[in-house]
Amino acid sequence: QVQLVESGGGLVQPGSSLKLSCSATGFVIDSIETYRVGWFRQVPGKQREGVSCTSASDGNKYYANSVKGRFTVSRDNARNVVYLHMNNLKADDTGVYYCAINHGIFCSPSASDYKSWGQGTQVTVSA
């Protein structure tokens, strides 16, 4: 069974940068190269929000309007790792960030389109 572990979260000031990592293990035959990967964030009392995703081919990417121009998703298939580079962080970016994967041609910002999830990493942006 594929397992996902997020890392890289922390407490930072507005305007700072963070790089989140999503490390995938447990592949038997395939690798993360054949999966679409999504990044989501959740704050208490709100639904999990799709922040970014990348298709298996890495040719199709999505960014929520709130993070466009500030966040970049990238993948290192050889290491089975997907990154979320977050720049110019704002207080509204605070939340628990999750990565998720599933087979599929195109990436999707919908949580229901993903099968495997990590445990999340906390990002807090505060002065």
Q: How confident is the model over 61-110, as pLDDT tens digits?
A: 999 999 999 999 999 999 999 999 999 999 999 999 999 999 887 889 99
Distance CA 110, CA 63 (A): 12
Q: How confident is the model over 12-65, as pLDDT tens digits?
A: 999 999 999 999 998 878 888 889 999 999 999 999 999 999 988 878 899 999
Measuring CA to CA, how many Å separate 53 from each of 29, 58, 109, 126?
A: 23, 9, 7, 25
Q: How confident is the model over 41-50, as pLDDT tens digits?
A: 999 999 999 9
Residues 6+ apart with CB under 8 A from 40: 48, 49, 50, 51, 97, 98, 99, 100, 111
